[in-house]
Structure 1
Amino acid sequence: MGLNSIAVFCGSNFGNSPAYAEAAAALGRCLAARGIRLVYGGTHKGLMGVLADAVLAAGGEAYGVITERLAAKGHLHQQLSAHEVVADMRVRKARMAELADGFIALPGGLGTLEELFEAATLTQLGDQAKPCAGLNVSGFFDPLRALLQHMAQAQFLRQEHCDMVLLDADPDALITTMAAWTPPVVEKWFAPPAATAGASA
């Protein structure tokens, strides 16, 4: 599939290791080198700022989508290629999804995970058909992979949907995998366990 724009979700903090900022910068340079527009939350804070700075320094395009509240606090990155200010986080996420052909999560906190899982859920349900991925810096997303696998083993998630969240530590390899990705065609629901089925009969 064509990846002209990728939305990146990531922390507005830097984390406790320089490896996180280094990975954000590497991803930014990779996006610029491939001619892929960055779509992100529009701020200069933390890894988000590192990412945008790297894209711009490498001659790439960085498009920010920021909320009115954050813009009013002075959090808008002033050197972006373009940006828009939206009412709230729900509108921000929806707008980023509209603008993007795929999604990558860098290390981050609650908001990063929430954004990644919303994108993956919409793809799982067939509301969109866009690859969802995590740049697995220093094994950051290994616990997430373990949790998804646990969900699959417990039959709350199809294995195909577990595998739908692509992980790689190398940004170029990750984007290559995303470009080759196709959405799984599989039934979401499982048959109920025998005891449950009998009780409801």
Structure 2
Amino acid sequence: MASVCVFCASSRTLDQRWLDLAAETGAELARRGHTLVSGGGRVGMMGAVADGARAAGGHTLGVIPQALVDLEVADLAADELLVTDGMASRKTLMIEKSDAFVALPGGLGTLDELFEVWTTATLAMHAKPMVLLDVDGFYRPLLDWLGTLATHHFLKPAALDLLLVAPTIPEALTLLESRLTS
């Protein structure tokens, strides 16, 4: 099966619904036989997705910069934990270690990771599928704005087509899997 990188929030102050969503995503990845690649943290949704994957028997690979290890937020329960020298090298290694990407609701870090992967895909540096999990329309304002960018020719419509969007975890993973096999 595939190594699937999940981008999501690491905030400690999230509503339980987001933590549950992350845990269920990790569990569903594991049930489908995929390896979870994460940002290597043990807090917030990042910790919940890894815990969910392991609870369902999945393999987890965390990639974390040394500065965050030093803050004692590393997922030391990860099956593999790779430590980098910074955030940029973390993203590069996460992209290298992953066959596909799923972005859950999140903030700046999640968007940074998503846009890095998406930008490199538009430049044909990889052809790995990317799915945005748009639960309850979380990303609808962003998607509307991206549509405006395309309308004004700041973004090619083909670039929009690279970013797959799904409203539920099963739909997101099924969509991702269909692109991995095509």
Number of corresponding residues: 180
Assess if the C-alpha contact under 8 Å between 1:23 and 1:137 holds in 2. Answer: no
SS of structure 2 residue aligned to 1:181 = helix
Aligned partner of 1:117 in structure 2 is 115
Assess if the C-alpha contact under 8 Å between 1:19 and 1:138 holds in 2. Answer: no
Identity of aligned residues (%): 38
Trace 1:23-102 onto structure 2 (pairs within 5 A).
23-102=21-100
Residue identity in the other structure for 1:120: W
Unmatched segments (≥5 aa) in structure 2 = none
- In 1, Cα distance between equivalents of 2:2 and 2:179: 15
- Structure 1 residues 35, 44: closer, same or farther in 2, change over 3 A? same
Deviations 1:68-117 (A, max 9, x none): 10001111112111111110001100000000001111111111101101
Aligned partner of 2:3 in structure 1 is 5
Give, in angstroms, the shift of residue 163 of structure 1: 2.6
Unmatched segments (≥5 aa) in structure 1 = 183-201
TM norm structure 2: 0.93
Assess if the C-alpha contact under 8 Å between 1:11 and 1:48 holds in 2. Answer: yes
Deviations 1:42-63 (A, max 9, x none): 1111000111000000100111
Assess if the C-alpha contact under 8 Å between 1:14 and 1:21 holds in 2. Answer: no
Larger Rg: 1
- In 1, Cα distance between equivalents of 2:55 and 2:173: 20
Match of 1:171 among 165, 169, 172: 169
Aligned partner of 1:199 in structure 2 is none
Aligned partner of 1:152 in structure 2 is 150
Assess if the C-alpha contact under 8 Å between 2:14 and 2:44 holds in 1. Answer: no
- In 2, Cα distance between equivalents of 1:93 and 1:135: 20
The structure 1 segments of at least 4 consecutive aligned residues displaced by more than 6 Å after TM superposition are: none
Which has the larger displacement, 48-57 or 161-170? 161-170
Deviations 1:14-70 (A, max 9, x none): 565332112111111110011110001111110001110000001001110110100
Give, in angstroms, the shift of residue 123 of structure 1: 0.6
Deviations 1:153-186 (A, max 9, x none): 111112221132111121121121122238xxxx
Assess if the C-alpha contact under 8 Å between 1:19 and 1:137 holds in 2. Answer: no
Aligned partner of 2:17 in structure 1 is 19
TM norm structure 1: 0.85
Residue identity in the other structure for 2:97: L
Assess if the C-alpha contact under 8 Å between 2:133 and 2:172 holds in 1. Answer: yes
- In 2, Cα distance between equivalents of 1:167 and 1:68: 33
Aligned partner of 1:104 in structure 2 is 102
Question: What is the root-mean-square deviation in Å for CA atoms of aligned residues?
Answer: 1.4
